[in-house]
Amino acid sequence: MDIIKFKEKCRDIRRIIIKSKHRSKSAHLGSAFSAVELLVYLYYDHLNLDLTKKKPDRDYFILSKAHSSILIYAILFDKGIISKKEIEEVDVDGSYLGDHINSQVEGVEYSLGSLGHGLSVASGIALSSKMNGFNNKTIVLLGDGECNEGMIWEAASFAPVQKLKNLIAIIDYNKLQGFGRTSDFSDMTQFSLRWKSFGWNVREIDGHNFDEIKSALNEIRENPDKPLVIIAHTVKGKGVGFIEDKLEWHYKSLNDEQLQRALDELK
Amino acid sequence: MRNTFIKELTKFVETDKNIIFMTADLGFSVFEEFMEKYPNNYINVGLAEQNLIGVAAGLALTGKKVFVYSIAPFATARCFEQIKVNIAYHNLDVIIVGVGGGFSYSKSGSTHHAFEDIGILRTLPNMKILCPGDPIEVKASVKYAIENSGPFYIRLGKNKEPNIHKEEVELKNIISISEGEDGIILTTGNMLELGTKIVEDLKNKHGKNFALSSCPIIKPFDEKQILDLLKKYKYIFSLEEHVKEGGLSSLLSEIIATSTYKDFLFKGFSIDHGFIKTVGSQDYLRDLSGISKDKITEQIIKILK
Ligand SMILES: Cc1ncc(C[n+]2csc(CCOP(=O)(O)OP(=O)(O)O)c2C)c(N)n1
């Protein structure tokens, strides 16, 4: 994938997301937008996907910040896995597509919604792959606010001593969480040092930059037998000016006029 | 319910600065005013429910009265052992407030449904459980929790529940809403409104006159009040947005089993479904799990025949 295609794809995905959120009136628009570049690179380039979930040695992706489900659903729609009717019926009575990631949906590995669980589950998958001698990887996307949770740090201790080199945690570091800025609840100045001191390979990147995402995922690591964490600096709501870096867009839904303005920006 | 809750709590904090309110990263567009007015009585611990309970325990141990708040599953199941060991065992003044009882967060999926919260917390010694049925009962619950001591769980709905009571009430195990002679329907928490509709349907469509009562205090429960009802009514039905195990239906069954008097029929209506993997409105999920107005009314009519 080249950078031009990448940018087009990110724009398309944001357009699908914003139309869906406008229809469903559900929350978490900003949360999905901050990770578009990361997920587009993973799903269109990096991951060795098997969306039928049949090959045991496929790459695994776990959406720990599960309230960004629409981002995965938009990608699966774009790939033809989810139908037009299904994506138009997000949140409708009887749909599998709701506000949190659901493994009833084809191509989704694991259901979540309560924050803090994903790194442990991903560690278990990576451990299993290691036991089976597979040459695959497991990638998990975490929120920065989610890293308040104690369970994240239990897994953070576990993975390096188990030498889970096949595990990659990506943190969508958008500086906002549910009811405040992440730095209100945790001293983030030494965030990467924290992971380093737990034994992880750490890369800090601009999470909207194609080259930086690519190199972080592909370059040789300092400690080749240890897991990798990518701290991706992002902007919550990235891509639409009036939505960027505002807590309210964790909750608000777009009216018709705002939808139009957003789509105009995403041309 | 949550707006009523914070309004009522604010009133008490005005005169009692010993009350502390804690949240775990929730409360956008609800708590801002409280935060600004009483910054010294407000703490957001971030996304850390286990820490929320532990810190609350420390505050309560040293004399504070502490309210903690999150979405119901994250305020209960997520930190259950902290509640058991840090709070209940030490019988501390911590009031856990869970927003979104039952299917209130219907579109958020199973992780956000609180269908087992009453059941798990009922097992804890010292824990008292309040499930207000309308905003008026929310007000009474806040007052009740503040005026009494020890740990509480207050299970709120979400928002926009209408008032069913016409005036202020005092919190009790059983509060009568309306009279009737053919039987009685007992509801707990956010099923109260549905209860009024079922009673109306039974009357208007089927000519049956049922009494309706709300049960906002689930624990402790004065068993005699239930045993007395058995002699007064031939049919007793209960409604809850919770699984049968551990909830109101289970509580009533436990009490009724001790009765020597047998000339009555009891049936509890509870969530009857495995993990729900689809989403939709709260009414849709109620219907799916057998506790919508129509499904309950239909079953009651069958039983009466
Ligand atoms: C255990 C738990 N507590 C609370 C919530 C409610 N909640 C959903 S998203 C969110 C904020 C998440 O912030 P962050 O991890 O930084 O993700 P962002 O949306 O900023 O990308 C909260 C508090 C939850 N889903 N799970």
Q: For the packed helices A256-265 and A3-24, what is the interaxial angle rounded to 10 degrees?
A: 180
3-state secondary structure of A229: strand
pLDDT of residue B4: 97
* B35 close contact with A: CB closer than 8 A: no
CA-based nearest distance A36→chain B, Å? 21
Question: A258: number of CA atoms within 13 Å, CB side?
Answer: 16
Q: What is the DSSP letter of A95?
A: B
Judging contacts by C-beta atoms under 8 Å, the chain B residues touching residue A184 are 44, 46
Q: What is the pLDDT of residues B261-303, one digit of tens each?
A: 999 999 999 999 999 999 999 999 999 999 999 999 999 999 9
Q: Distance of CA B274 to CAs A146, B242, B288, B290, Å? A: 28, 12, 10, 12
Q: How confident is the model at residue B101 (pLDDT cuts 50, 70, 90)?
A: very high
Which residues have C-beta atoms less than 6 Å from ligand 1?
Answer: A 31, 34, 65, 67, 113-116, 143-146, 172, 174, 176-178, 236, 250; B 25-26, 47, 49, 71, 74, 78
Looking at the partner chain, which of A92, A99, A177 has a beta carbon nearest the beta carbon of B46?
Answer: A177
In this structure, are residues B159 and B6 in contact, taking their beta carbons and an 8 Å threshold?
Answer: no
Query: Does residue A251 contact residue A27 with C-beta atoms inside 8 Å?
Result: yes
- C-alpha to C-alpha distance for A29 and A246, rounded to whole angstroms: 11
CA–CA distance from B85 to each of A160, B69, B173 (Å)? 31, 18, 27
Residue to mutate, B45, B47, B50, B76, ligand 1, most ligand atoms under 8 Å from C-beta: B47
Cis, bond preceding B132 (omega within 30 deg of 0): no
Tell me if ipTM is over 0.95: yes
All domains of chain B in start order, with CATH: 2-156 (3.40.50.970), 175-304 (3.40.50.920)
Residue among B178, B175, B304, B184 at smallest CA distance from B232: B184
Q: What is the mean pLDDT of chain A?
A: 98
Question: Within its chain, how far is the Cα of B228 from the centroid?
Answer: 23
CA of A102 vs chain B CAs: smallest distance (Å): 8
Please, are residues A191 and A174 in contact by the beta-carbon 8 Å criterion?
no
B223-232 vs B248-256: helix crossing angle, rounded to 10: 80
CA B212 to chain centre: 17
What is the rounded average pLDDT of the residues B72-90? 98
Q: Percentage of chain A surpassing pLDDT 70?
A: 100
**Closest listed residue to residue B199, CA positions, set B210, B187, B207, B213:** B210
Ligand 1 pocket test target in A39, A65, A231 with most atoms within 8 Å of CB: A65
Which tokens is B206 given?
A: 């089927």
Mean of pLDDT values over A41-65: 97
Enumerate residues 6+ apart whose C-beta is below 8 A from A175. A144, A181, A182, A183, A236, A245
**Is B277's CB within 8 Å of A185's CB?**
no
Q: How far apart are CA A215 and CA A238, in angstroms?
A: 21
Residue type, B54: G
Query: Rounded to an integer, what distance in angstroms lies between the CA atom of residue A12 and that of residue A75?
Result: 9
What global pTM score does this model have? 0.98
- What is the separation of C-alpha A236 from the centre of its chain, rounded to a whole number of angstroms? 12
* Among B108, B113, B277, B288, the residue to mutate for chain A (most A Cβ within 10 A): B108
How many Å lie between the centroid of ligand 1 and the Cα of residue B220? 34
- pLDDT tens for residues A194-225? 999 999 999 999 999 999 999 999 999 999 99
Q: Is A100 on the interface with B (CB under 8 A)?
A: yes
Nearest alpha carbon, ligand 1 atom 11: A178
Residue B77: closest CA among B44, B111, B54: B111
Cα–Cα dist A108/A72, whole Å? 8
- The contacts of residue A147 (CB under 8 Å, 6+ apart) are A171, A186, A191
How many C-beta neighbours within 10 Å does residue A53 have?
Answer: 14
Q: Which among A34, A49, A26 is positioned nearest to A100, based on CA atoms?
A: A26
Mark out the alpha helices in chain A (DSSP H runs): 3-24, 29-33, 36-41, 69-78, 84-88, 118-131, 150-161, 191-197, 210-218, 256-265
Best CA proximity match to A231, nearest among A189, A177, A185:
A189
Query: Tell me, what's the pLDDT at B264?
Result: 96
Write down the pLDDT at residue B228: 96
pLDDT score of B252 more than 80: yes
Q: With 80 as the cut, is the pLDDT of residue B159 above it?
A: no
- Under the banding of pLDDT at 50, 70 and 90, the label for residue B160 is confident
Cα dist from A78 to A6, A13, A70, A207, A267, whole Å: 14, 8, 12, 21, 17
Amino acid in position B36: E
What domains does chain A contain, in order, with CATH numbers? 3-265 (3.40.50.970)
Q: How confident is residue B116, by pLDDT bands cut at 50, 70 and 90?
A: very high
HEC sequence for chain B: CHHHHHHHHHHHHHHCCCEEEEECCCCCCCCHHHHHHCHHHEEECCCCHHHHHHHHHHHHHCCCEEEEEEEHHHHCHHHHHHHHHHHHCCCCCEEEEEECCECCCHHHCHHHCECCHHHHHHCCCCCEEECCCCHHHHHHHHHHHHHCCCCEEEECCCCCCCCCCCCCCCCCCCEEEECCCCEEEEECHHHHHHHHHHHHHHHHHHCCCEEEEECCEEECCCHHHHHHHHHHCCEEEEEEEEECCCCHHHHHHHHHCCCCCCCCEEEEEEECCCCCCCECCHHHHHHHCCCCHHHHHHHHHHHHC
Query: pLDDT tens across B31-43, in order?
Result: 999 999 999 999 9
Residue A244 has pLDDT above 90, yes or no: yes
Q: How far is the CA of B150 from the centre of ligand 1 (A)?
A: 30
In ligand 1, which atom is closest to the CA atom of A116? 1
Please enumerate in sequence order all residues whose Cβ is within 8 A of that of A157, keeping only pairs 6 or more positions apart, or say none: A198
Selected residues 253-292 of chain B with any CB under 8 Å from a CB in chain A: 277-281, 284
**What is the three-class DSSP state of A174?**
coil
Q: What is the mean pLDDT of residues B121-139?
A: 98
Which of B189, B200, B156, B197 is CA-nearest to residue B292?
B197
Q: Which residues of A touch B30 (CB under 8 A)?
A: none
- Terminal Cα distance for chain B, rounded: 38
Q: Which pLDDT band holds residue A253 (cuts at 50, 70, 90)?
A: very high
Whether A150 and B50 lie within 8 Å, measured CB to CB = yes
Question: What do you get for the CA distance between the two ends of chain A, in Å?
Answer: 20
Q: What is the mean pLDDT of residues B144-149?
A: 98
CB distance from A98 to chain B under 8 Å? yes
